[in-house]
Amino acid sequence: MQFSRKRKVFSSAQVEYGHCLQLYGQPPLENITLAEFETFAVERLKLLKTVENLGVSFVKGSEDYQKKLSSEITNLNFPYKTEANDDRKQLTGPTEYEKRRKDHISHFILRLAYCQTEDLRRWFIQQEMDLFRHRFSDLPPKYKTEFLHRNDLQYDTISPDEKEGLMEKLVSSTYTVSGATVKEQDFYKVPFQDALDLVRLRKVFLRQGYAYIPHQDIVTIVLNDFRTRLSKALALTARSLPVVQSDERLQPLLSHLSHAYVGQDYSIQKNIGKVSLEQIDPLSAKSFPLCMRQLHRALREQHHLRHGGRMQYGLFLKGIGLTLDQALQFWRAEFVKGKVDADKFDKAYAYSIRHMFGKEGKRTDYTPYSCMKVILSNPPSQGDYQGCPFRHSDPELLKQKLQSYKVSQAGILQILELVKGMHYQLACQKYFELTHNIEDAGFSLNHPNQYFAESQRLLTGGKEVKREADAPPPRGGQSVRAPDALQDKPANPKQASAEITEDLDSLFQDD
Amino acid sequence: MTTCNYDPASLPDLLPLYYRRLFPFSQYYRWLNYGGVTKNYFQNREFSFTLRDDIYVRYQSFSNQSELEKEMHKLNPYKIDIGAVYSHRPNQHSTVKSGTFQALEKELVFDIDMTDYDDVRSCCSAADICSKCWTLMTIAIRILDRALRVDFGFRHCLWVYSGRRGVHCWVCDDSARRLPVAARSAVCEYLSLVKGGEETVKKVQLSDPLHPFIKESLAVVEHYFTQYAVLGQDILGSREWGSSMGLNSVAQVRKDLLSYFQTEKNPVKRWERLKTLVNQRRSTSKKGVHAEKEIMLQYCYPRLDVNVSKGVNHLLKSPFSVHPKTGRISVPIDLRELDKFDPFEVPTVSLICEELDHSKREEDDEEAKENEKAAGERRRIRDYKRTSLAKYIKVFDNFLDGLERSRRGELLQKSDLQKDF
Ligand code: SF4
Ligand SMILES: [Zn+2]
């Protein structure tokens, strides 16, 4: 790709876009203006952020999700399946051609911006995959097949005999498939590693290490291919990046783009030292979100929390301003009331507290967990109190808990309704509104520390807390802001060491 | 029972003897060297030792068997953990450029711990186990071993008693050792049916259709359920049976049972009744049709510590390590004899040292004649064969032979392929 300040000049090498969906195999060859470069990039970023937001507020693939995403694609003028039905002649027509060109070029621009760190890559791949999944799934069958042909994607199918023999198992492994439809469609046999999303959900039949995938789920395999290619490509791009970065016109733009989606990560402690240990009890009732209130209570009652809980709660406390010394004092005081004596605490647990503050090991400074992280990763198991109560509690228990916190009956119903629709963060926000006696929280909740900060702002009159706007703003009536996917995991080189040290801590668990 | 004569205070005296005379170093090396197929596979493997007073040393690594032996003779670790195979030698990890030192491979491992079943066993709690609740481990092994072999196609699963209250599984196939984190976590999720923490009562939710994996697992549970849960734990005898089973959602069944239980005290009959009632509903309503299956799984299905399995660089206690609290050796379990496996029969370090001592006197003179390393090795084999450790080492040997056979098969295949070209 060449960039010029001058007016747009098409090089003769115009790309043919034969299908509305592409695997982005070839980089664009034409020259484009800096202005167009920027518009394309920003618009694709908008689209990817919408993808991310929708993934948080809705079940991926649900009707609402599909509808909202489709309309965003159309609004931003990216190619969409309806046009795939258009007459073939129109494919080179300005509109559809322009859209496909934009899809192509903008994808490659963001590759430049998002290849730089493991975190950026992960975020980018995730959103591009979700986008691709949506677009592919929405294609009429004929166009799916055409897409596979065009891109030379071939997968092994099983013979009718084998299918016959496995009939019952295939039917009961695949949700929407009946005996009749099993007969009709092809089944692909791939190593289970290539269909992890289906394996994870137990939505596919497995035998001897192979997954038997019905044609209707072929998107899974295609997506796996897409992911593999994209992550290889990003690694390559990263290597050529120094050249691009030396371009002083592009450098600031790219770095701006890659920072654009990051929300506040609550790792910078503006409030450090402003909370005293005595305040924690009252604060936990007034200003902690339920997840942290639950952990706090469990800690006070059990005088112990297991690893996952310690991380979630400890980092939150760090985020609201506890100093390292305070944190040590706080955890020690509680643990020694239980089965751990001071000596054992210093040996086995103090390390992990210091570690959270980046004072041990590789000195990774951990950031507090976002709601996304709490909700999606590390769900609680036996003996755990971590997680998000809206997501991980039995509705019945949640109801009792809300009752005991004096939430009105009507309020509880509203919250449970949101929980049922899997809008956990919205449910939490509703809880915020109800307990702070306000109509509309006026923010979209994506972080427990944000909950705390907003609560304090209301209760103390907004002296302490600043909010950062993150660009670009959500669109299409979205009420949930981009969660901070970025901060969730430290960058890879760091990550390796972070994991190591984290494990170290969990080793000292309870065996 | 043999623990009665184990005294943790004697560990510093027993460990040197154990490592010098009994620990199966050559098998251990044979295992972790994996035929020497991949360069530096053993050399880049992390070991970590827990020493006296909880002193913990990570990132140990060794060039060969004798270096490992020497170090273990010197340190006499209370506990040995095995970590990943790294990109560099772990003992030099601080000298490599930051970010390049990475965990590359490790066995796919599972850790099942009896404490995670505390809400569903009434016989013991926390670290305690008894022969009653040990059935849970038997069930866990049966279910997981089947799934790992039949569903995932793995062939080399080593099951090991942890020495106290649980079991570990090491899946050692080449393909398993290479699995990235995402695949490990997908396998775990596939294998997890019991979900939720302290804030969830009903931890198993089934929906139609039942996946073949669930049916297979149910079949295993069914085999043990009446004996273990209905009779052994008397799950329908406790006061809160209704709510702890999540029967609240099917109020009618609950009510009917309540009145039936007034007169019927026989646990098996009670359970039969519950099944009948649930089955009757099947024709009338969709809700709760799997209630009895959900109960069976909630009470018996294996509970995995997912974190241990997910991370490539997570450490796990090594086979043949001693459990410092019980003194029991962490021994491989023979699946052909699984139902007979009794954790209380697993030898303690004090027992085998004693056994060795008994037989030792007779041949002290003989020994004086032998020297050299080979002789030492021979002696060690002779030594452990005199103790109750022998049969467990035999299990390990068999496992290693299996690995070796696969390796040869694969090598053959490779050379065949090369001929073709
Ligand atoms: S939504 Fe976020 S802040 Fe609220 S309870 Fe869940 S994790 Fe905590
Ligand atoms: Zn017991």
Q: Which member of B100, B210, B303 has the closest CB to residue A381?
A: B303
Q: What is the pLDDT of residue A472?
A: 36
Per-residue pLDDT of chain B (421 residues; tens, 9 = 90+): 444 579 999 999 999 999 999 999 999 999 999 999 999 999 999 999 999 888 889 999 999 999 999 999 999 999 999 999 999 999 998 888 777 888 999 999 999 999 999 888 889 888 899 999 999 999 999 999 999 999 999 999 999 999 999 999 999 999 999 999 999 999 999 999 998 888 787 889 898 889 999 999 999 999 999 999 999 999 998 777 777 777 766 788 888 898 999 899 899 999 999 999 888 877 777 777 888 999 999 999 999 988 899 989 899 999 999 999 999 999 999 999 999 999 999 999 999 999 988 776 655 555 555 555 667 777 777 788 889 999 999 999 999 999 999 998 877 777 776 665 5
Residues A229 and A113 in one domain: yes
Q: Measured between alpha carbons, how far is A353 from A380 in angstroms, rounded to an integer?
A: 20
Q: Measured between alpha carbons, how far is B194 from B311 in angstroms, rounded to an integer?
A: 20
Cβ of B186 and A492 within 8 Å?
no
Q: Measured between alpha carbons, how far is A115 from A443 in angstroms, rounded to an integer?
A: 31
H or E segment to which residue A3 belongs: strand A2-4
Q: Measured between alpha carbons, how far is B214 from A169 in angstroms, rounded to an integer?
A: 11
Q: What is the pLDDT of residue A310?
A: 93
Query: Is the distance from CB of A329 to CB of A299 less than 8 angstroms?
Result: no
Q: What is the pLDDT of residue A14?
A: 55
Quick one: tokens of A14? 């115009």
**Is A412's C-beta closer than 6 angstroms to any atom of ligand 1?**
no
SS3 A182: helix
Upstream peptide bond of A141 is cis (omega within 30 degrees of 0): no
Residues A244 and A183 in one domain: no
Q: How many angstroms separate the alpha carbon of residue A445 from the centre of ligand 1?
A: 8
Nearest to B228 by CA among B139, B162, B143, B144: B139
In a domain, A267, yes or no: no
Indicate the top mutation candidate among A371, A401, A434, A488 to test ligand 1's pocket, ranked by most ligand atoms within 8 A of CB.
A371
Q: Average pLDDT, stretch A17-35?
A: 85
SS3 A477: coil
Q: What is the pLDDT of residue A462?
A: 53
Query: Is the distance from CB of B187 to CB of B179 less than 8 angstroms?
Result: yes
Q: Which 3-state string (H, E, C) describes chain B?
A: CCHHHCCHHHHHHHHHHHHHHHCCHHHHHHHHHHHHCCCCCCCCEEEEEEEHHHEEEEEECCCCHHHHHHHHHHHCCCEEEEEEEECCCHHHCCCCCCCCCCEEECCEEEEEEHHHHHHHCCCCCCCCCCHHHHHHHHHHHHHHHHHHHHHCCCCCEEEEECCCCEEEEEECCHHHHCCCHHHHHHHHHHHCCCCCCCCCCCCCCCCCCCCHHHHHHHHHHHHHHHHHHHHHCCCCCCCCHHHHCCHHHCHHHHHHHHHHHHHCCCHHHHHHHHHHHHHHHHHHCCCCCCHHHHHHHHHHCCCECHHHHHCCCCCEECCCCECCCCCEECCECCHHHHHHCCHHHCCEHHHHHHHHHHHHHHHHHHHHHCCHHHHHHHHHHHHHHCCCCHHHHHHHHHHHHHHHHHHHHHHHHHHHHHHHC
Q: What is the pLDDT of residue A425?
A: 84
- Using a CB-CB distance cutoff of 8 angstroms, which residues of chain A are in contact with residue B103? 496, 499-500
Q: Which of A14-28, A130-144, A445-459, B226-240 has the lowest mean pLDDT?
A: A14-28
Candidates A313, A500, A505, A507: best to mutate against B (most CBs of B within 10 A) is A500
DSSP A92: G
In a domain, A26, yes or no: yes
Q: Which of A91-95, A187-191, A371-375, B375-379 has the highest mean pLDDT?
A: A187-191
SS3 A113: helix
Q: What's the CA angle centered on A334, arms A329 and A335, to 5 degrees? A: 100
Name the residue at shortest CA distance from atom 2 of ligand 1.
A371
For A294, name the nearest residue in chain B, comparing CA atoms only: B199
Residues A304 and A393 in one domain: yes
Q: Tell me, what CATH number does A230's domain have?
A: 1.20.930.80
Residues A249 and A328 in one domain: no
Instruction: Kindly give the pairing relationship between strand B108-113 and strand B166-171.
Output: antiparallel
The answer on pLDDT for A86 being more than 60 is: no
The answer on pLDDT for A246 being more than 90 is: no
Name the residue at shortest CA distance from atom 3 of ligand 1.
A448
Atom of ligand 1 nearest to the CA of A388: 6
In a domain, A500, yes or no: yes
Quick one: tokens of B145? 């071993």
Q: Measured between alpha carbons, how far is B264 from B272 in angstroms, rounded to an integer?
A: 11
**Is A425's C-beta closer than 6 angstroms to any atom of ligand 1?**
yes
Tell me how far the alpha carbon of residue A315 is from its chain's centroid. Answer: 19
Cβ of A379 and B195 within 8 Å?
yes
Residues A234 and A126 in one domain: yes
pLDDT digits (tens, 9 = 90+) for A425-483: 889 999 999 999 988 877 778 889 999 999 998 888 754 433 333 333 333 333 323 23
pLDDT digits (tens, 9 = 90+) for A205-221: 999 999 999 988 889 89
**Is A288's C-beta closer than 6 angstroms to any atom of ligand 1?**
no
- Using a CB-CB distance cutoff of 8 angstroms, which residues of chain A are in contact with residue B210? 172
In a domain, A91, yes or no: yes
pLDDT digits (tens, 9 = 90+) for A388-433: 999 899 888 899 999 999 899 999 999 998 888 778 888 999 999 9
In a domain, A437, yes or no: yes
Q: Write the DSSP assignment of A193-218 as a string of letters.
A: GGGHHHHHTT-SEEETTEEEEEGGGH
How crowded is residue A34: how many other Cβ atoms within 10 Å of its Cβ?
A: 14
Q: Measured between alpha carbons, how far is B338 from B143 in angstroms, rounded to an integer?
A: 12
pLDDT digits (tens, 9 = 90+) for A330-351: 999 999 998 888 888 988 888 8
In a domain, A41, yes or no: yes
Residues A21 and A155 in one domain: no
Query: Is the distance from CB of B151 to CB of A206 less than 8 angstroms?
Result: yes
Catalytic residues of B: 46, 111, 113
Give, to the nearest 10 degrees, the angle between helix A94-114 and helix A218-245. 70
The answer on pLDDT for A4 being more than 90 is: no
Residues A90 and A230 in one domain: yes
Pick out the residues of the known binding site of A for [4Fe-4S] cluster. Answer: 291, 371, 388, 428
Domain count, chain A: 3
Name the residue at shortest CA distance from atom 1 of ligand 1.
A425
In a domain, A457, yes or no: yes
Q: Measured between alpha carbons, how far is B192 from B147 in angstroms, rounded to an integer?
A: 11
pTM over 0.95: no
In a domain, A75, yes or no: yes
- Using a CB-CB distance cutoff of 8 angstroms, which residues of chain A are in contact with residue B100? 493
Residues A103 and A234 in one domain: yes
- From the number of C-beta atoms within 10 Å of its C-beta (0-12, 13-18, 19+), residue A409 rates as exposed
Q: What is the pLDDT of residue A470?
A: 35
Residues A382 and A241 in one domain: no
CA separation, residue B102 to residues A235, B60, B89 (Å): 17, 15, 10
The answer on pLDDT for A497 being more than 90 is: no
Higher pLDDT pick, A181 / B257: B257
Rounded to a whole number of angstroms, the distance from the CA of B402 to the nearest CA of chain A is 18
How crowded is residue A247: how many other Cβ atoms within 10 Å of its Cβ?
A: 11
Name the residue at shortest CA distance from atom 6 of ligand 1.
A388
A507/B contact by beta carbon, under 8 A: yes
Nearest to B128 by CA among B325, B337, B392, B332: B325
Which phi and psi (to 5°) does residue A435 adopt? -85, -15
For B209, name the nearest residue in chain A, comparing CA atoms only: A172
Nearest to B400 by CA among B24, B30, B25, B23: B30
Which domain does A93 fall in, by range?
A: 5-148+223-257
**Is A350's C-beta closer than 6 angstroms to any atom of ligand 1?**
no
Residues A179 and A245 in one domain: no
Q: Which 3-state string (H, E, C) describes A64-82?
A: HHHHHHHHHHHHCCCCCHH
SS3 A394: coil
Cβ of B196 and A175 within 8 Å?
no
Residues A113 and A237 in one domain: yes
The overall average pLDDT reported for chain A is 79
Query: DSSP strand E in A345-397: where?
Result: none
Which phi and psi (to 5°) does residue B387 adopt? -115, 170
Residues A384 and A327 in one domain: yes
Query: Is the distance from CB of A72 to CB of A475 less than 8 angstroms?
Result: yes
Q: What is the pLDDT of residue B112?
A: 96
**Is A372's C-beta closer than 6 angstroms to any atom of ligand 1?**
no
